[in-house]
Structure 1
Amino acid sequence: MEQEILDTYNKLNSLNVSRETYLDFESFISMIIEKNKEINIISQETAKNSIIRDRHIIDSAQIIDFIDLNQNTTSDLGSGGGMPGIIIAIILKNIKNKMKVNLYEKSHHKSAFLKEVSKKLELKTEIIQKNVFDLKNIETGTIMSRAFKPMPIVLDLVYENFSSYKNLIFFMGRNGKNVFKDSLKNWDLEYVEKKSLTSEDSFLLNIKNIKKKITKN
């Protein structure tokens, strides 16, 4: 692997990600670029190796410390092109953790791509081609939400549709502070905040408990 590529992945050194994992990441990037010629897995403007590596791969991989590794499953809401679900599945494979990653993606074409990637990279995933909002009593370990729906909508979804879970991870962007502040008006949240490795303006939230505040009339 070229030194330039290894230098990019240096951001993940604190997470003890292996060289074999990086090779799988690079295979995944190649598959994204190839499939992007047919359908929009990611925007055409960002469909370059170096941009995908930083904006999608490293950005997704940085949450591995928040994943509850003692559970049977973890779930990616609106997985799209597989970020972060496929990235986490790659890491789990290479650390020999047998947890299954559930990828919720209602698009037929993107679901087919996720299945293709999972088969080629021998990942332990289940692609659930359904609208997660239509499902009830979902049980899982960690829930991941990256570029899916606004935070208030996801909090409602988890509160109403998941019967059990361990924690909920949010990727918060440039306007994340304001969105989070507004969400705290309606929710009591037990959380840990972590600065993003890929953007000065972004941060991660690891939420353990969510409780709806009682509104007074």
Structure 2
Amino acid sequence: MADNLALSDVSRETMTQLQLYQDLLVKWTSKINLIAPSTIESSWERHVIDSAQVFKYVPLGALHLVDIGSGGGLPGLVIAILAKERMPGLAITLIESDQRKAAFLRTVARELDLAVSIKAERIEAVTDVRADVLTARALAPLLNLLSYGKQLLNDDGLALFQKGKSFQQEISQARTSWSFDLQEFPSETDDEARILQIKDIRRVIN
């Protein structure tokens, strides 16, 4: 399982923690909707590896990463597990308004001894957080994500948004309301997907 580029150089302890997280993710999915049941059998690649690949785009000097719409902790908890070994000074905040999902996030954080802060609030209501890095996976159209980015990012911060095959359409739509610097990175788990690195988000004045 460590052959994937995203996990090519992690320690045995980190790999064990990722596997424990996967076990908890699957176990809780039988009670609440964390991942689609059809993806349980392929959850290591579809969810864990897919989230882990984001970590390599987190700048070394980042101090605070915020994951919005964390759900089952993808990618936020996976990043927290990797950061525990590689970037122990990185503060991580997970924002998830669903109370049951927030309870899952707290359970994993406690059982794996992860230093994460969990806010069980709607994203729009969070006004006391500023991030160097903002992450989101399968949450909302890019147009909406940019609004959250403007709200939560430091002026020199960057967003890392995972997008599927419609990413080009979402970029075109978003540019009607926002200007932003964009870099696209290929996904390790889906040839049609991309990781979008976005900086300098500004609203377009028509």
**TM-score band w.r.t. shorter chain:** over 0.9
Q: Does 1:101 align with 2:92?
A: yes
Following TM superposition, by how much is the alpha carbon of 1:145 offset from its aligned partner in structure 2, in angstroms? 1.2
Aligned pair in 2 of structure 1 residues 113, 15: CA closer, same or farther (>3 Å)?
Answer: same
Task: For residues 26-62 of structure 1, give each alpha carbon's deviation from its aligned partner in whole angstroms, at most 9, with x where no partner exists.
Answer: 10111111112221211111122xx111111111111
Name 2:21's counterpart in structure 1: 28
Please tell me whether Structure 1 or Structure 2 has the larger radius of gyration of its CA atoms: 1
Name 1:3's counterpart in structure 2: none
RMSD of aligned residue pairs (Cα, Å): 1.7
Name 1:164's counterpart in structure 2: 154
Match of 1:44 among 37, 47, 60: 37
Q: Map of 1:1-217 to 2, 5 A cutoff?
A: 6=1, 9-12=2-5, 16-48=9-41, 51-136=42-127, 138-159=129-150, 161-162=151-152, 164=154, 166-215=157-206
**Take 1:157 and 1:40, find their aligned partners in 2: how far apart are those partners?**
24
Unpaired runs of 5+ residues, structure 1, are 1-5
Which residue identity does 1:164 align to in structure 2? N
Unpaired runs of 5+ residues, structure 2, are none
Which residue identity does 1:119 align to in structure 2? R
Structure 1 stretches of 4+ with a deviation exceeding 4 A read: none
Q: Which moved more, 1:32-41 or 1:111-120?
A: 32-41
CA contact (8 A) 2:7 2:52 kept: no
Normalised to the residue count of structure 2, the TM-score between the two structures is: 0.92
**Take 1:163 and 1:125, find their aligned partners in 2: how far apart are those partners?**
18
- Between the aligned residues of both structures, percent identity stands at 27
What is the aligned length?
Answer: 205
**Take 2:91 and 2:169, find their aligned partners in 1: how far apart are those partners?**
34
SS at match of 1:141: strand
Aligned pair in 2 of structure 1 residues 96, 201: CA closer, same or farther (>3 Å)?
Answer: closer
Normalised to the residue count of structure 1, the TM-score between the two structures is: 0.88
Which residue identity does 1:115 align to in structure 2? R
